[in-house]
Amino acid sequence: MSKVRIASIALSSPAGGADLCVGDELLTINGRAPTDIIEYQQLIDGANVTLLVKRDGDLLERKVVIDKEPGQPLGLAIDSAVFDRIRTCDNHCSFCFIYQLPKGMRRSLYVKDDDFRLSFLYGNYTTLTRFTEFDLERVIEEGLSPLYVSVHTTDPELRASMLRNPRGATSLRWLRELLRAGITVHVQVVVCPEVNDGDHLEQTMQDILSQYPRVASVALVPVGVSDFSAEATMRSHRADEARHVIDLVARYRDLARDLVGKALFYASDEFYLVAGTTPPGEEFYDSLDEAENGIGMVAAFTKSFAERLPMATLGSGFFQSVDGAPAWGYRAVRGGGDGTDGDGRVVVLSGEYAAPLLREMLDDHGFGDVEVVAVENRYFGGNIKVAGLLTGFDIARTLETLPVDATVLLPDVCLSEGRFLDGLGLEDLPRPVTTVTTTGNDLRETLERVRPRNLVSS
């Protein structure tokens, strides 16, 4: 088991008055050593919590008793979500993006997880190939809902082949048991041309309606293929193939409404962009809870911009409601900076997919003087055109082409703890930029702050 350390302490909380320091190792709570932040939450939920802690340099452990009301937050933040070993993925999916990363990136980027606890906490998708009867009992007993499951196909042989794991043929039995127990489950299908699309995809959608009608939603997302992919069977979707997926979703949405009373099936925004059409508006979706997975992301962003509304940026999962759970992995603190505002035009950098939509949205709301520049992703290449996978390398190259007096805005979604995927930081860019939290409302507020200078100069 890894060391569990205190990352921060809220001064006005019950823990704020205790003899605790950031960096203290947490050994037990009420005599038990928690294995993850979920168990931690359960142990601190009552009154009068007793902690066994150890401070670096001290030889002895010590007890700290904290008086609090039942259900009152303790006030500690912990530096990890899983205290024992993360359950890593033992699949070898042909479409896995981790296998398409170049060498030399941060070690954490190469870690594949298939841990149901991270599915609950962060909305990560699990294939259930490492799920066990013990896990099922815990999920049901503790009500760990919702979970997120990668189905890809309901054909057992094809699923085992795509996952390159014989357990892929049988692990969907756990999905049936989860639904039977009343656990909310969102599923996704990564659609790979000439592999699990066409008749295979339609059969999967039929099987979900007939065998798993209680799933909360089904997200169809296109496979991402970078220049580093070594898989001969993996390629990007053509426009006609993307349109076929969209048409299939339209047919099965109608069927699902008749059979189960909800639309159920959704194609990601990327399918619409590849097909050359605009993604649907807010009214198309029963909810925008899966915008982070590309399902209604454009609709959510546009609504946030137009109506000046906050927009969820932490995405799916419930880690934000668990006292002490850290913003882990790609939901870690983005970090960023407030660059020097220029005296010339305002430029918003974006990925190639979003740039045309962003241009249209700004024009519709009176921001026609703001320039939108699409950053070509040469680092990954292939069909990788989303803002979240932009690297410092490509952003630096693009900045060199812009006027020195421009105010440059950069979406913070491409940063994690202040670093880009390629390891570069904002300090490595050739000029200052202003990072903007990736919501419509935050972009609008930033534009309204920096734009008057731009209007005067024009």
**Are residues 109 and 256 located together in one domain of the fold?**
yes
**Are residues 251 and 118 located together in one domain of the fold?**
yes
DSSP string, 261-315: SS--EEE-HHHHHHHTSPPP-GGG-S--TTGGGTSSHHHHHHHHHHHT-----S-
User: Is residue 311 a part of any domain in this protein?
Assistant: yes
Predicted local distance difference test score (pLDDT) of residue 325: 62
Measured N-to-C along each axis, helices 440-457 and 297-307 cross at an angle, to the nearest 10 degrees, of 60
**Are residues 213 and 101 located together in one domain of the fold?**
yes
List beta partners, residue 29.
32, 51
**Are residues 67 and 156 located together in one domain of the fold?**
no
Q: Enter the tokens of residue 37.
A: 């932040």
User: Is residue 92 a part of any domain in this protein?
Assistant: no
pLDDT by residue (tens digit) across 195-226? 999 999 999 999 999 999 999 999 999 999 99
Q: Which residue has the higher pLDDT, 107 or 137?
A: 137
Distance (Å, rounded) from C-alpha 126 to C-alpha 139?
14
Question: Above 50 in pLDDT, residue 2?
Answer: yes
pLDDT by residue (tens digit) across 421-439? 999 999 999 999 999 998 9
Q: Are 50 and 31 in contact (CB under 8 A)?
A: yes
**Are residues 156 and 59 located together in one domain of the fold?**
no
Distance (Å, rounded) from C-alpha 184 to C-alpha 188?
14
User: Is residue 84 a part of any domain in this protein?
Assistant: no
Predicted local distance difference test score (pLDDT) of residue 112: 87
| Burial (CB count within 10 angstroms: exposed 0-12, middle 13-18, buried 19+), residue 211 | middle
CATH of the domain at 119: 3.80.30.10
Q: What percent of the chain has pLDDT over 90?
A: 80
Instruction: Name the band, by pLDDT with cuts 50, 70 and 90, for residue 273.
Output: very high
Dihedral sign (CA 326, 181, 200, 274):
negative
Average pLDDT, the chain: 91
**Are residues 57 and 122 located together in one domain of the fold?**
no
Of the candidates 96, 128, 135, which has an alpha carbon nearest to the alpha carbon of residue 112?
A: 96
Question: Above 80 in pLDDT, residue 416?
Answer: yes
Q: Are 168 and 162 in contact (CB under 8 A)?
A: yes
Q: What percent of the chain has pLDDT over 70?
A: 91
Last residue of a domain, one of 78, 109, 126: 78
Instruction: Name the band, by pLDDT with cuts 50, 70 and 90, for residue 331.
Output: low
pLDDT by residue (tens digit) across 279-310? 999 999 988 878 888 899 999 999 999 999 88
User: Is residue 170 a part of any domain in this protein?
Assistant: yes
Give, in order, the Cα–Cα distances in Å from 17 to each of 55, 66, 78, 261, 325: 17, 9, 17, 52, 20
Q: Are 372 and 359 in contact (CB under 8 A)?
A: yes
SS3 for 84?
coil
Question: Above 50 in pLDDT, residue 458?
Answer: no
Mean pLDDT of all residues in 51-70: 94
Question: Above 50 in pLDDT, residue 16?
Answer: yes
User: Is residue 87 a part of any domain in this protein?
Assistant: no
Instruction: Name the band, by pLDDT with cuts 50, 70 and 90, for residue 85.
Output: confident
Question: Above 90 in pLDDT, residue 332?
Answer: no
Instruction: Name the band, by pLDDT with cuts 50, 70 and 90, for residue 312.
Output: low
Q: Which of 90-104, 203-217, 337-351 has the lowest mean pLDDT?
A: 337-351
User: Is residue 363 a part of any domain in this protein?
Assistant: yes
User: Is residue 220 a part of any domain in this protein?
Assistant: yes
Last residue of a domain, one of 296, 321, 346: 321
Mean pLDDT of all residues in 22-42: 95
**Are residues 218 and 277 located together in one domain of the fold?**
yes
Q: In which domain, by residue range, is 338 found?
A: 333-457
Predicted local distance difference test score (pLDDT) of residue 328: 58
Helices (H), 35-172: 37-43, 116-122, 133-142, 156-163
Distance (Å, rounded) from C-alpha 57 to C-alpha 341?
47
SS3 for 423?
coil
Question: Above 60 in pLDDT, residue 319?
Answer: no
CATH of the domain at 392: 3.40.50
User: Is residue 287 a part of any domain in this protein?
Assistant: yes
C-alpha 23 chain-centroid distance: 28
Last residue of a domain, one of 297, 321, 345: 321
Cα of first residue to Cα of last residue in the chain, in angstroms, is 61
Helices (H), 82-195: 116-122, 133-142, 156-163, 173-180
Q: Are 23 and 58 in contact (CB under 8 A)?
A: no
Q: What order do you get walking across the sheet with 407-411 strand by strand?
A: 371-375, 346-351, 407-411, 434-436
Residue 394 host element (H or E)? helix 392-399
C-alpha 335 chain-centroid distance: 16
Instruction: Name the band, by pLDDT with cuts 50, 70 and 90, for residue 315.
Output: very low
Q: Enter the tokens of residue 193.
A: 């041309």
Q: Are 78 and 7 in contact (CB under 8 A)?
A: yes
**Are residues 104 and 187 located together in one domain of the fold?**
yes
Beta-carbon contacts of residue 419 (< 8 Å; ≥ 6 apart): 106, 335, 425
**Are residues 162 and 302 located together in one domain of the fold?**
yes
**Are residues 389 and 316 located together in one domain of the fold?**
no
**Are residues 156 and 19 located together in one domain of the fold?**
no
Mean pLDDT of all residues in 132-139: 97
Helices (H), 18-58: 37-43
Distance (Å, rounded) from C-alpha 33 to C-alpha 245?
48
Amino acid at 310: P
Question: Above 70 in pLDDT, residue 317?
Answer: no
pLDDT by residue (tens digit) across 229-265? 999 999 999 999 999 999 999 999 999 999 999 999 9
Distance (Å, rounded) from C-alpha 186 to C-alpha 21?
39
Q: Which of 92-96, 111-115, 134-138 has the lowest mean pLDDT?
A: 111-115
**Are residues 304 and 339 located together in one domain of the fold?**
no
Of the candidates 150, 260, 265, which has an alpha carbon nearest to the alpha carbon of residue 205?
A: 265
Number of domains the chain is built from? 3
Q: Are 119 and 108 in contact (CB under 8 A)?
A: no
Question: Above 60 in pLDDT, residue 405?
Answer: yes
